């Protein structure tokens, strides 16, 4: 490994992978599906016709959405719908990453070590490469906007999640764009994309996104910004793209993380109609430009006043003024698979939460090495709002270091709202165990730390001056640390009941996958 970039170490492709996990044979969506077909309970297909307008999401809500979706819901298999009403040549996949177990199979690390794996992949990477004139799978079929009859609404079955949605949305569209002054300064992010017409999409940028900085620079000159929207990808690309600043500073290309996860580079191809790159093995690519000084109301075609279900579990308000992408072409594989998600579901938890965990883990190893055992970005916060930190105190000084660890987590990931600290004997992935620690190792008046009036997330409906008059603006919040760890001097008084170690499979073999004797 050699160091040749200010933001990361570079792995040489073809060298033995140094990060300590077995890389599964996945480098695009189709190989990911083939892998899941070999794992019982993680993949399902149906040939029954489904309407992309609210029905598809309504079905998957019961099959496997999970997350903050209104109950009843559950964590279940990924699902491909092969018969889409009105789109005889299309398929839609939902829920690929809607299970931490499934992410473990797809990325190759044990599910309790995914944050560690992602943290290592963030600092030991393989940058993407361009394939030049080689044929790209994503360009097997090309539809140009200048062609007669071009209409993206008839070419791609963009779903609506609920009857109240502003319109059809591409929920897993990975936007790829670059600095107008430097095409090597690339950013990739998932953004909310609503279909507005036959060749226009609106795009929503949360504050601080790097592609929005590119857009603003181009717009200040009266210039369009070239962009590609990539859908149906290797899951390592999606999940690696969800790192945020300061973990991935301006100028860091998140596709490098996917390269590190896979041990080989992500392949890029030049778009057909705009000066931009696309993911060569994508199922679908939308090419276009973000128009300068053009805005539309997100719900201009529906008038619902709503956008779509967001990760906190609520349907967000339609934005009255969003930038517009003018579509110049759509390129696809033959018989493409459109990939989507249910907004508040467990898939968002995996996409946002595991990079959040990795960011916190890396920062803690630098600042307080040895204190943090593990971290979990909890489903209840959509992978963004709530983090559980499992700590191993070593001395009385760690009573203070535990709370410092929470402050580090809040500093590393600005959208984090609440942090719960637990000891190493608490299973941070078991909510009942975490709540048990809160009931027996926490006193509200001494173990709660408030950090008021700091930046949070605009999609939390409680983060408004109307909800809390002390807040200066929407997207500001009071952050809270719940210290549910035992004070060092009382450790011996908080020892959990210790049971005899046995092999339970001898008495109940069917529960543990063993044959009966």
How far apart CA 448 and CA 470 sit, in angstroms, is 19
How far apart CA 92 and CA 73 sit, in angstroms, is 20
Nearest in space to 192 (alpha carbons), one of 329, 65, 331, 348: 348
How far apart CA 337 and CA 502 sit, in angstroms, is 48
How far apart CA 54 and CA 72 sit, in angstroms, is 17
For 123-170, the DSSP string reads HEE---EE-TTSPPGGGSEEEETTSTT--HHHHS---BSSTTSSS-EE
* Catalytic entry in 310, 346, 347, 357: 310
For 308-362, the DSSP string reads EE-TTSSEEEPPSSEEEEEEEEEEE-SS-EEEE--TTSHHHHHHHHHHHHHHHHH
Taking the CA atoms of 15, 16, 17 and 19 in sequence, report the sign of the dihedral they define: negative
267 is catalytic: no
Crossing angle for the helix pair 100-107 and 29-37, nearest 10 degrees? Answer: 110
Centroid of chain to Cα 345 = 11
Nearest in space to 456 (alpha carbons), one of 416, 497, 428: 416
Class of residue 55 by CB neighbours under 10 A (exposed 0-12, middle 13-18, buried 19+): middle
Centroid of chain to Cα 280 = 21
Centroid of chain to Cα 325 = 22
* CB of 196 closer than 8 Å to CB of 296: yes
In angstroms, the first-to-last Cα distance of the chain is 50
| Beta carbons within 8 Å of 501's beta carbon, 6+ residues apart | none
How far apart CA 331 and CA 328 sit, in angstroms, is 10
Q: For residue 377, list its beta bridge partners.
A: 387
Per DSSP bridges, beta strands 174-179 and 182-190 are: antiparallel
Enzyme catalytic residues: 310
């Amino acid at each position: 490994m050699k160091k040749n970039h200010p933001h990361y170490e570079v792995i040489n492709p073809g060298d033995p992978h140094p990060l300590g996990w077995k890389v599964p044979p996945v480098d695009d969506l189709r190989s990911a599906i083939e892998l899941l077909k070999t794992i019982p309970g993680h993949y399902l297909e149906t040939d029954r016709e489904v309407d992309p307008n609210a029905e598809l999401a309504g079905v998957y809500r019961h099959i496997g959405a999970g997350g903050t979706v209104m109950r009843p819901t559950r964590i279940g298999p990924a699902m491909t719908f092969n018969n889409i009403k009105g789109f005889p040549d299309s398929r839609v996949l939902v829920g690929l990453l809607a299970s931490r177990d499934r992410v473990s199979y797809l990325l190759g690390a044990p599910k309790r070590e995914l944050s560690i794996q992602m943290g290592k992949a963030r600092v030991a990477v393989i940058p993407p490469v361009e394939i030049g004139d080689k044929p790209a799978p994503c360009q097997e079929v090309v539809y140009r906007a200048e062609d007669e009859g071009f209409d993206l609404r008839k070419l791609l079955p963009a779903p609506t999640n609920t009857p109240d949605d502003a319109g059809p949305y591409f929920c897993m569209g990975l936007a790829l764009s670059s600095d107008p002054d430097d095409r090597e300064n690339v950013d990739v992010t998932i953004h909310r994309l609503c279909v507005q017409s036959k060749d226009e999409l609106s795009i929503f940028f949360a504050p601080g996104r790097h592609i929005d900085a590119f857009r603003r620079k181009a717009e200040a000159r009266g210039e369009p910004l070239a962009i590609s929207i990539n859908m149906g990808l290797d899951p390592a690309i999606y999940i690696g793209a969800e790192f945020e600043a300061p973990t991935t500073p301006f100028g860091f290309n998140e596709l490098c993380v996917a390269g590190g996860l896979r041990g080989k580079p992500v392949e890029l191809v030049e778009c057909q109609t705009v000066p931009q790159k696309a993911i060569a093995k994508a199922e679908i690519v939308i090419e276009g430009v973000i128009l300068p000084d053009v805005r539309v109301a997100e719900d201009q075609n529906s008038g619902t006043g709503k956008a779509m279900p967001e990760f906190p579990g609520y349907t967000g308000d339609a934005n009255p003024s969003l930038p517009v992408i003018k579509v110049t072409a759509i390129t696809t594989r033959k018989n493409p698979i459109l990939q989507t998600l249910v907004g508040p579901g467990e898939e968002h938890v995996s996409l946002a939460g595991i990079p959040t965990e990795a960011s916190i883990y890396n920062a803690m190893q630098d600042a307080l090495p040895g204190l943090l055992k593990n971290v979990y970005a909890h489903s209840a916060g959509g992978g963004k709002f709530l983090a559980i930190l499992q700590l191993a105190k070593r001395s009385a000084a760690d009573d203070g270091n535990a709370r410092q660890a929470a402050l580090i987590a809040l500093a590393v990931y600005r959208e984090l709202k609440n942090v719960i600290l637990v000891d190493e004997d608490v299973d941070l992935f078991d909510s009942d165990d975490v709540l048990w620690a809160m009931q027996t190792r926490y006193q509200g008046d001494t173990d709660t730390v408030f950090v008021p009036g700091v930046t949070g997330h605009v999609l939390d409906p409680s983060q408004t001056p109307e909800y809390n008059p002390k807040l200066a603006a929407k997207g500001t919040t009071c952050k809270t640390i719940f210290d549910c760890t035992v004070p060092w001097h009382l450790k011996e008084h908080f020892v959990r009941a210790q049971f005899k170690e046995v092999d339970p499979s001898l008495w109940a073999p069917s529960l543990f996958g063993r044959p009966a004797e």
